[in-house]
């Protein structure tokens, strides 16, 4: 396990270093390659992030803050720090989500349809947080064309679902040609209706990994509904205690 | 000869026949009085349940709440709950006022999501407002209002509707954790312990609701110091006297001008429901009146037709038909009066007794989703009772007219010959 | 005197005193008719919630996946009848009316212009087969505005209260966001073609209907439906119906038959419990009717004391007189009973078909748009038989006592009597 991680780490670093060369080569990489590199940038061996989430809906805006820890693609823990929900935690393990509330004496386990509920009233559902989201496993990808988003060159890649049990049958992702992070993602319903747009901005290189520091998720069906997630601070590769992702420790 | 005297004498002369007429009228009156008081009981029961558990006599809430009701907009609340409540309670004509918060949420069990609602109440005030004690069927209110043996402060003892407990597949004393959307549109969860079980007279409450201390629900829904609504109980006088009530409502409105203040009759859904029930009862009542009238009509007609010979004799003796008709009319009136009075006294008495002891609709009502209590208390309505009384006399008197008229038109000789 | 002679004499007496017979039998008839009508109305009110379920939500019974029933409240598309058409055809071949439905939950999204404002609300959507749905359910009859669905068209019917809440009118566009059978997000754009105002509050408040083939295509159902609803035959009991359906689906072990009582167990308990209140009302009706009947019979016997004396004077034995009078009473009960049954049947027919529109009776009560204002009666056949027996029974029972008494008098005494 450790070796694999090491190898990946090395590969990751290599990629980052080699990045400008690849772009300079002018011939765009294959869609699979683009997505692979995109995903590599999304997954950290370990990380710790301080984030702010702003939800606006018809009743106005509300803000919450949180600290998120992650390890690999599967494990994550979000701990809310804003007054309204201070101490609440969301633990993601391989295929389950547990919620911890300081006011409750028991953990809440989410399964099945309950995962479709929104987190803190945002446009993010618990389902969006669940693991195992390697895009290449679930989607057939095809390169579309190069396009500029907010003045940045991007590769537009089409994702067509291979399985019928994923939320979005089709997605279009605009991946930054320089940093290989998604600048824009559009998610569609089976009918072809545009459901959600995720727009990323303020890309920063942190510990060698390009990270979009701000993402805006807007619900295209509800005119006044959007969620902004801003990363205030991010450390990658920090040492994270094993116990953080354990169920037993969740309530402490 | 004085016609009324003659009629009176006739009544006394054939006791058996008079007794029969009187019995018919009496039983008809009694049944109608009973039915009306039964229906009145069902109506007032419905009203009581709706005003006790849903609206109060007057409901006070945020102005915009109704518009977004289907979204459960908890943030559209009443601020400074206690001060506002006290100000309302101090108004002349207000008997008492309570704060309540209803928070919908879910309990996650395995793959299932069980919907339920927490109602935050002030148990000490509810003791008087909704007389909650009488609905507790297991455990005690004491167990809910005092911390008890829970060492874990996160566990709140609550009063759970009996059907909800079944739906959650729990026993009394066991815990459940409920997840809700808060008033700040975040989420929160809290663990509750079924310290007592209630059998609310409103079955939808039994199915979905548990009662918890207001402060805990305020914390759960993150509404510190706020309440969802204030339910107001008016004094008897304000309930009776529309002018005084209007005055009280005006005063409430001026006390909380920024809030929505509605008398329960102004609440379309609730009041419409009551009107529907009331209309169904009225239809039943109409049938009853028809039937009872038939009985009275039939008896009266029978009595007169059987006396054809007598009518013939009287006519032969020179009594004019106008006088005859009047005589029979007076007779019928006298019989109607005695019968109706007997029925009225017996029916009212019976209804009053049943009002005290109640008619137990039995345990079969357990899982019923209808706002009628299992124990019915008939209520005597003075106006309808008097109406029935007068009605019985009028019907009996009016019925005497036609047959008498017909017989007097026959030649006296023919009338005499018959039988 | 032979029994036939007794009957003949009684019959002659009844004919001879035609007016008395008519009034007395009339009392019996009206009493029984009222009893039957009130019973029908009460059963009707009681059954209304049942009917509202059967006509608009459940049908008489449904074929569904064995795991569906327990999770029916969540409207999962996980457990389905996979070959819905085949099941439906098998049921139809057996002479049963059947229709398939795809029921799912979704979020209804509407926008300002034409709607008063942007909004979204959770709804239960019913994919219904416009051609066969009416064989089992009664939706078209409840359309208050617009028209019914056409197969294959992106059309929707909307519950009246829901429409009122969000300000919807016929012709407005709506979007339903949901998940397909396997989990994809899906949106369905529909145009409202009709508003349904059913007596079922659940339907009125939360339901929309769309053509089943449209729902099937959007939800990737591949021929599956969530339920096949079946209409019961008149007079067929639920167990019989269930058994008949079970025979038709014997080839599919994962399917089960659930009758409407099972599907809506909690609502059904309501009807059973309300029987007590109904019982009290019926008892009161019975008392009045019984008093009416017994009173007239009693009177007709009492008034005939003279006649009794006459019969005895010409040599009839007491037993014969007694038998004759009792037979007369029974005859009156029978005549009244039969007329009562006929009148009752007429009244019940009216109550069942037309109902009582108390909305128009009581104009001044402002019940508003939200409540049904017609109560319907229901056929309750056993009560007819019971009514006839009761009519005869009371007539005979009330005749016995006064006749006995009259027979105890001396002939002279009774002849002298008024």
Distance between CA atoms of C284 and B35, rounded to whole angstroms?
A: 7
Please report where in the chains the tokens 């935050």 appear, as a residue.
Answer: B120
- Per the document, the length of chain B is 419
Distance between CA atoms of C376 and C347, rounded to whole angstroms?
A: 11
Interface A-C, measured as beta-carbon pairs within 8 A, has a size of 59
Q: What is the pLDDT of residues B146-201, one digit of tens each?
A: 766 657 788 899 999 988 998 888 998 899 999 998 888 788 999 999 999 998 87
Q: Which residues of B touch A (CB under 8 A)?
A: 73, 75, 106, 108, 110-111, 113, 152, 154-155, 175, 177, 179, 181-182, 184-191, 219-220, 222
Output the pLDDT for position B371: 45
Strand partners, B375: B360
Residue C188 to residue A191, Cβ atoms within 8 A? yes
CA dihedral B63, B64, B66, B71 (to 10 degrees): -150
- Chain B residues in contact with C356 by the CB 8 A cut-off are 283
Nearest to B108 among A57, A85, A109 (CB): A109
SS3 category, A64: strand
From the DSSP assignment, how many helices (H) and strands (E) are in chain B?
A: 15, 12
Residue C292 to residue B299, Cβ atoms within 8 A? yes
Phi, psi of A165 (to 5 degrees): -105, 20
Q: How confident is the model at residue B368 (pLDDT cuts 50, 70, 90)?
A: very low
- 8-state DSSP, B168: T
pLDDT reading at A25 higher than 50? no
Angle at B414 between CA B412 and CA B419, to 5 degrees: 110
Of these ranges, B136-140, C156-160, C391-395, the one predicted with the greatest mean pLDDT is: C156-160
pLDDT reading at B26 higher than 70? yes
Cis peptide before C116 (omega within 30 of 0): no
Distance from CA of C186 to the nearest CA of A (A): 5
Q: What is the pLDDT of residues A52-79, one digit of tens each?
A: 999 888 778 889 999 999 888 788 899 9
Q: What is the pLDDT of residues C390-408, one digit of tens each?
A: 888 888 888 888 788 778 8
Distance between CA atoms of C51 and C44, rounded to whole angstroms?
A: 9
| Mean per-residue pLDDT, B308-318 | 80
Output the pLDDT for position B412: 67
Distance between CA atoms of A63 and A84, rounded to whole angstroms?
A: 9
Interface residue of B30, B181, B275 to substitute, partner C, most C CBs within 10 Å = B275
B296 CB-near residues (< 8 Å, 6+ apart): B24, B25, B28, B336, B392, B395, B396, B399
Whole-number mean pLDDT of chain C? 83
Output the pLDDT for position A114: 77
Q: Measure the N-to-C terminal CA separation of chain C; round to a whole number of Å.
A: 28
pLDDT reading at C290 higher than 80? no
- Chain A residues in contact with C179 by the CB 8 A cut-off are 116, 167
Put simply, whether C183 touches A (Cβ < 8 Å) is: yes
Q: How confident is the model at residue C363 (pLDDT cuts 50, 70, 90)?
A: very low
Angle at C345 between CA C340 and CA C346, to 5 degrees: 100
Of these ranges, A68-72, A238-242, C350-354, the one predicted with the greatest mean pLDDT is: A68-72
Sign of CA dihedral B209, B213, B214, B220: negative
Q: Measure the N-to-C terminal CA separation of chain B; round to a whole number of Å.
A: 27
Please report where in the chains the tokens 């089992």 appear, as a residue.
Answer: C136
Output the pLDDT for position C357: 67
Residue C288 to residue B298, Cβ atoms within 8 A? no
Helix or strand (DSSP H, E) at C162: helix C160-166
pLDDT reading at C210 higher than 80? yes
* Structure token digits, residue B40: 């009145």
Distance between CA atoms of A134 and A37, rounded to whole angstroms?
A: 11
Lowest mean pLDDT among B195-204, B212-221, C210-219: B195-204
Output the pLDDT for position A40: 85
Output the pLDDT for position C314: 84
Output the pLDDT for position C392: 87
* pTM of this prediction exceeds 0.80: no
Q: Dump the DSSP string for B369-394.
A: -SS--SEE-----HHHHHHHHHHHHH
């Amino acid at each position: 396990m450790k070796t694999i991680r090491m190898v990946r780490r090395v590969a990751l670093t290599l990629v980052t270093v080699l990045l400008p060369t690849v772009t300079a080569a002018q011939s765009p990489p294959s869609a699979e390659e683009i997505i692979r590199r995109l995903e590599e940038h999304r997954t950290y061996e370990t990380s710790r992030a301080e984030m702010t989430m702003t939800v606006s809906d018809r009743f106005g805006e509300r803000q919450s803050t949180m600290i998120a820890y992650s390890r690999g693609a599967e494990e994550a823990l979000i701990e809310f720090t804003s007054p309204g929900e201070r101490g609440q935690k969301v633990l993601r393990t391989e295929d389950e989500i547990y919620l911890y509330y300081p006011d409750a004496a028991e953990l809440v386990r989410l399964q099945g349809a309950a995962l479709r509920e929104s987190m803190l009233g945002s446009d993010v559902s618990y389902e969006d947080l669940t693991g195992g989201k390697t895009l290449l496993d679930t989607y057939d990808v095809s390169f579309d064309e190069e396009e500029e988003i907010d003045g940045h060159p991007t590769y537009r890649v089409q994702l067509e679902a291979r399985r019928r049990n994923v939320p979005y049958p089709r997605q279009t992702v605009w991946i930054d040609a320089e940093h290989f992070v998604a600048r824009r993602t559009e998610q569609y319903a089976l009918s072809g209706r545009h459901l959600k747009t995720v727009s990323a901005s303020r890309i920063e290189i942190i510990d060698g990994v390009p990270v979009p520091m701000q993402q805006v998720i807007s619900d295209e069906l509800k005119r006044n509904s959007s969620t902004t997630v801003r990363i205030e601070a991010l450390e990658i590769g920090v040492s994270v205690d094993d116990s953080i992702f354990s169920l037993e420790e969740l309530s402490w | 000869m004085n016609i009324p005297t003659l009629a009176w004498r006739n009544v006394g002369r054939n006791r058996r026949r008079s007794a029969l007429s009187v019995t018919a009228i009496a039983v008809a009156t009694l049944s109608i009085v009973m039915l009306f008081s039964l229906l009145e009981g069902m109506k007032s029961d419905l009203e009581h349940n709706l005003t006790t558990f849903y609206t109060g006599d007057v409901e006070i809430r945020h102005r915009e709440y109704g518009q977004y009701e289907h979204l459960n907009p908890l943030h559209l609340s009443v601020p400074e709950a206690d001060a506002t409540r006290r100000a309302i309670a101090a108004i002349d004509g207000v008997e008492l006022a309570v704060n309540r918060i209803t928070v919908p949420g879910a309990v996650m069990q395995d793959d299932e999501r069980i919907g339920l609602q927490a109602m935050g109440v002030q148990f000490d005030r509810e003791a008087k407002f909704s007389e909650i004690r009488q609905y507790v069927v297991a455990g005690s209110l004491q167990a809910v209002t005092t911390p008890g043996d829970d060492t874990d402060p996160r566990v709140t003892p609550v009063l759970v509707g009996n059907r909800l407990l079944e739906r959650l597949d729990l026993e009394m004393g066991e815990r459940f954790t409920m997840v809700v959307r808060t008033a700040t549109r975040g989420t929160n969860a809290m663990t509750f312990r079924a310290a007592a079980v209630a059998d609310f007279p409103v079955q939808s409450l039994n199915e979905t609701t548990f009662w918890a201390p207001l402060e805990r629900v305020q914390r759960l829904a993150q509404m510190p110091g706020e309440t969802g609504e204030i339910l107001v109980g008016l004094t008897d006088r304000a309930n009776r006297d529309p002018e005084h009530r209007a005055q009280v409502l005006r005063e409430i409105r001026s006390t909380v001008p920024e809030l929505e203040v509605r008398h329960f009759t102004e609440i379309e859904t609730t009041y419409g429901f009551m009107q529907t029930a009331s209309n169904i009862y009225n239809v039943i009542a109409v049938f009853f009146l028809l039937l009872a009238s038939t009985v009275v009509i039939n008896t009266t007609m029978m009595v007169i037709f059987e006396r054809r010979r007598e009518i013939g004799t009287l006519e032969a003796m020179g009594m004019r038909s106008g006088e005859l008709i009047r005589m029979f009319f007076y007779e019928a009136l006298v019989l109607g009066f005695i019968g109706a009075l007997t029925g009225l006294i017996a029916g009212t008495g019976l209804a009053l007794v049943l009002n005290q002891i109640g008619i137990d609709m039995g345990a079969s009502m357990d899982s019923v989703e209808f706002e009628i209590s299992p124990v019915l208390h008939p209520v005597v309505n003075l106006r309808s009772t008097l109406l029935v009384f007068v009605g019985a006399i009028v019907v009996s008197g009016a019925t005497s007219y036609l047959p008498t008229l017909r017989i007097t038109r026959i030649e006296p000789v023919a009338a005499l010959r018959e039988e | 005197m032979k029994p036939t002679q007794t009957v003949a004499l009684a019959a002659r007496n009844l004919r001879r005193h035609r007016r008395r017979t008519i009034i007395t039998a009339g009392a019996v008839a009206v009493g029984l008719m009222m009893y039957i009508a009130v019973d029908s109305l009460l059963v009707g009110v009681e059954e209304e919630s049942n009917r509202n379920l059967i006509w608009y939500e459940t049908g008489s019974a449904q074929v569904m996946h064995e795991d569906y029933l327990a999770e029916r409240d969540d409207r999962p598309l996980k457990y389905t009848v996979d070959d819905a058409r085949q099941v439906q055809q098998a049921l139809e071949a057996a002479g049963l009316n059947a229709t398939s439905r795809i029921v799912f939950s979704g979020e209804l999204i509407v926008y300002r212009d034409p709607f008063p404002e942007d909004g979204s609300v959770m709804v239960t959507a019913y994919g219904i087969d416009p051609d066969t749905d009416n064989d089992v359910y009664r939706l078209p009859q409840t359309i208050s505005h617009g028209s019914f669905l056409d197969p294959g068209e992106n059309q929707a019917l909307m519950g009246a209260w829901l429409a009122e809440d969000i300000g919807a009118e016929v012709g407005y566009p709506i979007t339903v966001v949901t998940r397909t059978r396997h989990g994809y997000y899906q949106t369905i754009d529909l145009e409202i073609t009709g508003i349904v105002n059913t007596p079922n509050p659940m339907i009125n408040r939360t339901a929309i209907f769309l053509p089943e083939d449209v729902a099937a295509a959007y939800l990737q159902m591949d021929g599956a439906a969530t339920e096949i609803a079946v209409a019961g035959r008149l007079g067929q009991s639920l167990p019989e119906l269930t058994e008949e359906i079970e025979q038709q689906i014997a080839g599919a072990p994962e399917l089960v038959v659930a009758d409407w009582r099972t599907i809506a167990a909690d609502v059904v308990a309501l009807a059973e419990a309300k029987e007590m209140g109904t019982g009290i009302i019926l008892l009161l009706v019975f008392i009045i009717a019984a008093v009416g009947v017994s009173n007239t019979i009693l009177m007709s016997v009492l008034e005939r004391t003279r006649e009794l004396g006459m019969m005895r004077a010409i040599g009839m034995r007491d037993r014969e007189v007694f038998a004759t009078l009792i037979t007369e009473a029974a005859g009156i009960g029978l005549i009244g009973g039969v007329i009562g049954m006929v009148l009752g049947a007429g009244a019940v027919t009216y109550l069942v078909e037309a109902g009582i529109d108390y909305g128009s009776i009581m104009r001044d009560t402002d019940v508003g748009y939200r409540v049904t204002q017609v109560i319907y009666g229901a056929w309750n056949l056993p009560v007819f038989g019971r009514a006839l027996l009761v009519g005869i029974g009371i007539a005979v029972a009330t005749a016995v006592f006064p006749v006995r008494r009259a027979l105890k008098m001396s002939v002279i005494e009774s002849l002298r009597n008024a």
